Structure 1
Amino acid sequence: MTTSSVMPDWIFDGSPIGDPLGYGERAVKFLRMLRHPKSRLPGHAFDLPEWQERIVRRIYGPCHEDGRRIVRTVVILLPRGNRKTSLGAALGLLHTIGPENVPGGECLFAASDRKQARIGFEEAMGIVHSFPDDIVKKLRLVDSKNRLQNPKKGAFLEAISNDAGTHHGRTPVFALIDELHAWKKRDLWDVISTGMRKVAGSIKIIITTAGRGQENIAYEIVDYARKVARGEIDDPTMLPILFETPADADWRDEEIWHRVNPGLALGFPDIEGLRAAAREAEHRPGEREAFRQLHLNVWLDHSTDPFVEMSVYDEGASEVDLLDLEGEPCWLGVDLSTVGDLSVIVACWHDGDDGFVVHPWFYCPGDNLRRRADIDGVPYPTWAEEGFITPTPGNVIDERVIEDQLRELCARFDVREIAFDPHYGRKMIARLIEDGLPAVEMRQGWVTMAPAIRELERAIVGRRFRHGGHPVLRWNFSNIAVETDKADNKAFNKSKSTDRIDGAVAAAMAVARCAAGTETTIYASEKWSEDMAYF
């Protein structure tokens, strides 16, 4: 069985956990004093299994000499059904009405939307309502604001969501970040993180299942936690607790189920329920991907029917130095979009005898870039700042910027051909040809694109495709949904793809023309009906 090097084996090995001031023991005692309405233990005692107890001790026990808690951020990657919501609710109460509360302390349950935020809050309220009446009377519940107040200390617990507008001005001492993989934008994360830096002893606990794609805040945080777990980054303030299955593991293996679901040995989640889900997943690819993601914590890419395994694609991420390619024969693929979408140029050069190296230039409208990022769920502003995408002025793409880039590339490299999807590019093609540049039409029908996609697939699978790890291009490749005809010809289906794939289309065009070498073919003779069949 393939295992992950980031697994938190310390949870099960009985190794000592430092607790010089007894804060870990204090936290455990408080949690064990709680009652939970759904608990099957005598007196509805809060169920804190040993593996969760060790997590609590590891968070709160280790301290600096002056008593300051060492851990400031906890990342718990845990599959569904392992009672992470109950644990998170109890920790919220620990900081609101328990021994970790501070005067005026602001404690938050933060989630992607109001409904999800309310789940953790209601879990906490269920515990509170199990208290003796004399204790409940000392607290104040403001249900309309999803807030529990501790008037004696001025501390409060509140549920907030990422879809509820601005939350600037927050200075939380405790924040439970719930299901971070579902957060489509990072605004609330940034507000909470910056606010917590103002407060001594604040702690942020992220509890989430695995997500999809790499263009989101969840992947960024979890990947950082992986590096800490592997020892690549020295950050004692970060506690990574990652129950994660490697992507190449056998998802049918029940040993793996038990390894990444620490509650399974205690009856949660239900083993028979997992077996039933696995049987269904055998015959339904979409269910299989959901099973791997939600029950085994395999971090997936966007497409449920990927063009290639993205782990194989990622092997081509070694650096591409454009200075080394100046003067070398070059082929360009151009995918022009509607005025408000993504457009791209992809350049391709030979890499050795049978390999290819590519580099893309992406363009999008510059107006409302952050709003576009929220809609597509990707960091357009960050990509723009880092030079991976060029926003053109206005709310539509200025094609003159793209045309100027093409002319610049022709001056810089030995461009043999500029292949266009003519659907939006006829005027630009005509202008370039008029100036003696090698622009050609490459229609998007099966006859043209199936061989191009086949060539691209062979290159990637054969580890002969070097792309430099460009993040926007990777995102495009991870979005592809493939359509296959009776002759096993493949096409990229734009309507079924999870998001934009323009860079992958342009890459296929550029690689195909590069593979053909100096043999130039004009594609205008293909039938329009074949072109339309692609879409």
Structure 2
Amino acid sequence: MSIVIRKKPKNPFPEIPDPFGYGQRAVDFIRSLKHPLSTRPDNAFPLDPWAEKIIRQIYGPRHPDGTRIVKTAVLLVPRGNRKTTLTGAITLLHAKGPERRPGAQLVSVAVDKKQAKGVFKEVAGMIDGDYAFAPNIGNSAKTVDEARGAKIRDYVSKIVFPGGIEYEALASDAGTAQGRTPSLIIADEIHAWLKRDPRELWGAMRAGAAKVANSLTVVTTTAGAGQENLAFDVIDYARKVARGEIHDPATLPILFETPRDADWKDEAVWHAANPGLKHGYPDLEGLRQMAREAEHKPAERSIFQRYHLNIWQDHSTAPFVDMADYDRGAEPFYLEDLAGEPCWLAVDLSSNRDLTVVVAAWRHPDHDDGYIVHPWFFCPKDNLQRKADLDGVPYPLWAEEGFIEPTPGNVVDFRAVEDTIRDLCERFEVREIAFDPHLARNMMNTLRDEGYPAIEMRQGWVTMAPAIKELERAIVAGRFQHGGHPVLRWNFDNIAVETDKAGNKAFHKGKSRDRIDGAVAAAMAVARAAAGEGSAPSIFDDPNVTAADLVW
């Protein structure tokens, strides 16, 4: 009889610290799991090298006392790379494996009930897989739950493990996060969480986890759209950690994303963004077919780039400009430096729901064909959080940081807007104050009576098409400096463009709850600045222009 001595598998990632062997311990446990869809012998869990590296990065590095260094892992990976399978294994590592702690609460949060159930079934399926391949345990157990080593309660998406450990799969719109103290949070597809502003849910879960020693949050998501949302905040922070701009050893960035200027049709780019491709998933032929269709369908191209290459998208499906071009103007500037420069103001007054904004425009001192703009936004103070939930943006945070001014009551107090305009006229060399008279007749007349240079500029095709064209030219040429104001950027990102047969463009909201007021006012201000020193005649002085020409 010969004796075969099996050598312990060599760690393929010696560069990842593992002083206590906890990374190897985690890998060994996950490899012992059974997955019902695995094609490997005995349905062994398919822990491919890219996923094994992630496990070692999370669980290997430790403080001298043995506690885990990584507290948050952010995994940005395209669809089809089996991230849900990986997070299911991580959940069992904390429920049945060496990371378990008596009485621990383990939570996964997905987009809706259907997706939450999918994450739950992934975990439950692996528990059943262990039971199916352990007949000796099954024969000696009195109940199925005893054989499984867990009580699976499918109707409430909950699993109870020995030692009082509970796992529950929640939907992002469930509203049941308060009062929990999870030691493990799996945040799945946060770009699509259904609460209008999911920061409240995120904050509640994280606050609960902060009460538990050695807690872990694992974010798994594909790319989203826009920048005024929780998902972008989380991913952008991880990017800054990855680039070394922020020193935070407790955050592990794992970002499989594609640069916006990459050749999206290049299969080498696909492999770089999809770590599972070399192992047979997602389906390469399926990606090729989608890419062929995307070449001729712009909407399909956006979907392919977002979900399969992790290229973060603009918010609008019919954008005014590439937001990467817009962001070139984010370099900060000081308003005090513009005190002696000619200035043009544009005012967009709101209905009850929209924002009110005053935008100032200056000719750029370094570029004859460029502009500097700065906005002052106003919104009602009452129900500010409700408005944030409705629009899906952080109004309270913007107000706190001075990017928006809430006025008392449930509608914008136009007196505050008037006072701001008067103050700007005192601070700067204001040549014109352009109003769409639709809601502004009273304010415009009041300011005129006080000697301020208020003019009419209706938001119709005749006036706005040239204004939009000049604004577009400045942005594309990199001659539009806005200082990175977040509310103004959100407004620009919301624009959906309508083009007539003559090629004239008009701004529209992408969705009914989107706000574009700042972008409209910016176009008005730039147009008046482009006209010169205030001597250019108003469109309303042209006898050939009829009232019908001025309708948007």
Whether 1:375 aligns to 2:394 is no
Offset at 1:415? 1.2
Q: Is the 8 A contact 1:333 1:346 kept in 2?
A: yes
Number of the residue aligned with 2:501: 486
Q: Over residues 301-336 of structure 1, what are the superposed CA-to-partner deviations in whole Å (9 max), with x where a residue is unaligned? A: 101222222112111112221212224221011111
Offset at 1:350? 1.4
Q: Is the 8 A contact 2:180 2:205 kept in 1?
A: yes
- Decide which of 302, 317, 328 is 1:304's aligned counterpart: 317
Q: Is the 8 A contact 1:362 1:389 kept in 2?
A: yes
What pairs with 1:241-320 in structure 2 (closer than 5 Å)?
A: 241-320=254-333
Number of the residue aligned with 2:149: 138
- Decide which of 513, 516, 519 is 2:535's aligned counterpart: 519
Aligned residues: 521
C-alpha change, 1:148 and 1:477, in structure 2 (3 Å) is: same
Number of the residue aligned with 1:77: 76
- Decide which of 161, 167, 174 is 1:164's aligned counterpart: 174
What's the Cα RMSD here? Answer: 1.8
Q: Is the 8 A contact 1:347 1:510 kept in 2?
A: yes
Hey, what's the Cα distance between the residues in 1 that align with 2:286 and 2:149?
42
Q: Over residues 185-228 of structure 1, what are the superposed CA-to-partner deviations in whole Å (9 max), with x where a residue is unaligned? A: 21121112111221111111101001111111111111111111
Q: Over residues 49-70 of structure 1, what are the superposed CA-to-partner deviations in whole Å (9 max), with x where a residue is unaligned? A: 1111111111111112211111
Offset at 1:248? 0.9
TM-score, structure 1 length as denominator?
Answer: 0.94
Q: Over residues 266-313 of structure 1, what are the superposed CA-to-partner deviations in whole Å (9 max), with x where a residue is unaligned? A: 111111111111112112211111111110000111012222221121
Q: Is the 8 A contact 2:354 2:517 kept in 1?
A: no
Task: Give the 3-state SS of the residue equivalent to 1:390 in structure 2.
Answer: strand
Write the letter of the residue equivalent to 1:209.
Answer: T
- Decide which of 462, 477, 483 is 1:447's aligned counterpart: 462
Uncovered stretches (5+) of structure 1, i.e. residues with no partner: 1-11
Number of the residue aligned with 2:488: 473
Q: Is the 8 A contact 2:494 2:510 kept in 1?
A: no
Offset at 1:88? 0.6
TM-score, structure 2 length as denominator?
Answer: 0.91
Offset at 1:438? 1.2
Hey, what's the Cα distance between the residues in 2 that align with 1:511 and 1:136?
72
Whether 1:186 aligns to 2:199 is yes
Write the letter of the residue equivalent to 1:317.
Answer: A
Q: Is the 8 A contact 1:481 1:494 kept in 2?
A: yes
Offset at 1:421? 1.4
Number of the residue aligned with 2:8: none
Q: Is the 8 A contact 1:479 1:497 kept in 2?
A: no
Uncovered stretches (5+) of structure 2, i.e. residues with no partner: 1-10, 132-137
Hey, what's the Cα distance between the residues in 2 that align with 1:144 and 1:394?
45
Offset at 1:366? 1.3
Identical aligned pairs, as a percentage? 59
Q: Is the 8 A contact 1:39 1:47 kept in 2?
A: yes
- Decide which of 159, 164, 188 is 1:154's aligned counterpart: 164
Q: Over residues 215-273 of structure 1, what are the superposed CA-to-partner deviations in whole Å (9 max), with x where a residue is unaligned? A: 11111111111111111222111111100100111111111001110111111111111
Offset at 1:144? 3.1
Hey, what's the Cα distance between the residues in 2 that align with 1:452 and 1:13?
60
Write the letter of the residue equivalent to 1:89.
Answer: G
Hey, what's the Cα distance between the residues in 2 that align with 1:222 and 1:312?
21
Task: Give the 3-state SS of the residue equivalent to 1:25 in structure 2.
Answer: helix
Larger radius of gyration: 2
Q: Is the 8 A contact 2:111 2:171 kept in 1?
A: yes
Task: Give the 3-state SS of the residue equivalent to 1:481 in structure 2.
Answer: strand
C-alpha change, 1:147 and 1:114, in structure 2 (3 Å) is: same
Task: Give the 3-state SS of the residue equivalent to 2:270 in structure 1.
Answer: helix
Write the letter of the residue equivalent to 2:112.
Answer: D
Write the letter of the residue equivalent to 1:446.
Answer: W
Hey, what's the Cα distance between the residues in 2 that align with 1:507 and 1:272?
46
Hey, what's the Cα distance between the residues in 1 that align with 2:402 and 2:115?
35
Hey, what's the Cα distance between the residues in 1 that align with 2:376 and 2:167?
47
Write the letter of the residue equivalent to 2:421.
Answer: L
Hey, what's the Cα distance between the residues in 1 that align with 2:78 and 2:537?
52
Number of the residue aligned with 2:225: 212
Offset at 1:166? 4.3
Number of the residue aligned with 1:92: 91
C-alpha change, 1:301 and 1:295, in structure 2 (3 Å) is: same
Hey, what's the Cα distance between the residues in 2 that align with 1:493 and 1:512?
18
Offset at 1:496? 6.3
Offset at 1:498? 7.9
Question: Structure 1 residues 287-296 or 193-202, which shifts more?
Answer: 193-202
What pairs with 1:37-48 in structure 2 (closer than 5 Å)?
A: 37-48=36-47
Offset at 1:148? 0.5
Whether 1:240 aligns to 2:253 is yes
Q: Is the 8 A contact 1:303 1:497 kept in 2?
A: no
Whether 1:344 aligns to 2:357 is yes
Hey, what's the Cα distance between the residues in 2 that align with 1:477 and 1:13?
47
Offset at 1:338? 0.9
Whether 1:33 aligns to 2:42 is no
